[in-house]
Amino acid sequence: MIWSKLISIFNIMSRDNRNISKRIISFRHSDSPLTSKRVSVIISNRKDSVNLAEAVRSLRHNVKASFKVSESTKNKIKDLQKA
Amino acid sequence: MNFALSTLLLFFLLIPGILFRRFYYSEEFSKEYFKETFFGVFIATFLPSLFFHFLWYFLVKIFNQEVDLFILANILSQNPEKSSFSNIQQNSINILLYNASMFLVAGVSGYSLKKVVRKQKWDRLNKFFRFQNSWHYVLKGEFFDFPKADITLDEDTVEDIEFVFIDAIVEINNESYLYDGILVDYELSNDGGLRNISLTGAERRNLKNDSKIVDGIKADNSGKYYPIKGHILLLKYSEIKNLNFTYYTLTFDKEKGEFTPREVE
């Protein structure tokens, strides 16, 4: 019981930080990043980054804005999911 | 009493506490290490030092060793005995191991405690554990978890926040401009304040070109925005008048293969 408690506290082997749509804090990565992993991939691509910002601006004008990411970004996100 | 030696010894005795504190305030909270008052630093250093010395004093007995406090007091006296120095010389390896292990454990403990405090969110839930880097909690949206926060998240969690969209008002040549974009980085100054923020996908418009609101509906003023080419726009905090933070998450439509941003709620 003590051991499981220790594991839960330290969470060294946690798989939670593999979640690409959440900014999970783990024992090893106690400094949460500013963006989730998939957003990090999206904003790494200049065009996708602009599309994301544009979608936010559209949303602010009460227009539901969706955007598609480029093929390379799509593949990188898929790779993240597989990892 | 030999003051030079006692000062040196006092510093040496405080090293475990210094290491503990240095590693506790590391990484994103490293600026806080330099921020506290002298008294605060002394207490935050003295108490962990006392703890580690107390612990090691008893732990060495497991290895059939003993810390002779008489020798310690004797070398600080005005007329130290030669035998005291001989004893230190003879046990120099043990003394070295004793202190090195204590310093190592003190540093690792400080670092680990910070990690546990962050992992268990004790700093968000209890003010006692809260780090003084208030910008960290604002920029990452962690303030939503503060028990006294007036605004909380009902449907989402802080972990659901995928990115932060920022609007910043900057005055240039007596005219106010609104810059907006996705927050990608920030830097703190030595006093713990914000030095600059970095945005990507940034645009700007003159503040005069605000949206007109007719019958409660905001008119589209997207044509008034000027896109800023470049990867990152760095804004100096000293030149910013106001900052507006909006926290977003993304939803993914598998059928259409589209992402849609949504404010966290």
Confidence label for A21 from pLDDT (cuts 50, 70 and 90): confident
Reported ipTM: the value is 0.79
Q: Are residues B257 and B143 in the same domain?
A: yes
Nearest residue to B236 via CA among B187, B175, B176, B174 = B187
Contact B250 A65 (CB under 8 A): no
Q: Reply yes or no on whether the pLDDT at A7 is more than 80.
A: no
**Rounded mean pLDDT of A5-25?**
60
Q: Are residues B91 and B196 in the same domain?
A: no
Name the residue facing A34 among B140, B250, B257 (closest C-beta).
B140
Q: Are residues B53 and B149 in the same domain?
A: no
**What is the chain A residue with the closest CA to B204?**
A57
- pLDDT at position A14: 46
- pLDDT at position A16: 45
Nearest residue to B259 via CA among A64, A13, A40, A57 = A64
- pLDDT at position B149: 77
Nearest residue to A47 via CA among B249, B201, B224 = B201
Provide Rg for chain B, Cα atoms: 28
- pLDDT at position A13: 43
Asked if B21 contacts B51 with a C-beta cutoff of 8 angstroms, the reply is no
Asked if B262 contacts A66 with a C-beta cutoff of 8 angstroms, the reply is no
Q: Are residues B159 and B235 in the same domain?
A: yes
Q: Are residues B39 and B94 in the same domain?
A: yes
B153 interface with A at CB cutoff 8 Å:
no
- pLDDT at position A62: 73
**Cα separation, B239 vs B75, whole angstroms:** 58
- pLDDT at position A12: 46
- pLDDT at position A25: 78
The total domain count for chain B is 2
Q: Are residues B111 and B151 in the same domain?
A: no
Mutate to test the interface with A, among B122, B159, B232 (most CBs of A within 10 A): B159
Q: Are residues B7 and B108 in the same domain?
A: yes
Q: Is residue B172 part of a domain?
A: yes
Mutate to test the interface with B, among A30, A40, A69, A75 (most CBs of B within 10 A): A30
**Rounded mean pLDDT of A31-53?**
90
Domain that holds residue B160: 139-263
- pLDDT at position A3: 61
Both structure tokens of B191: 């006093």
Would you give per-residue pLDDT tens digits along chain B (265 residues)? 566 777 777 888 889 999 999 898 887 776 666 666 777 777 888 899 999 999 999 998 888 888 888 888 888 777 878 888 888 888 889 889 999 999 999 999 999 999 999 988 898 888 888 888 888 899 998 988 888 877 888 888 888 999 999 999 998 888 899 999 999 999 888 777 889 999 998 999 888 877 777 777 777 777 778 888 888 999 999 889 999 999 999 988 888 888 999 999 8
Asked if B187 contacts B195 with a C-beta cutoff of 8 angstroms, the reply is yes
**What is the chain A residue with the closest CA to B138?**
A34
Rounded to a whole number, what is the distance in Å from the CA of B222 to chain A's nearest CA?
A: 8
Q: Is residue B92 part of a domain?
A: yes
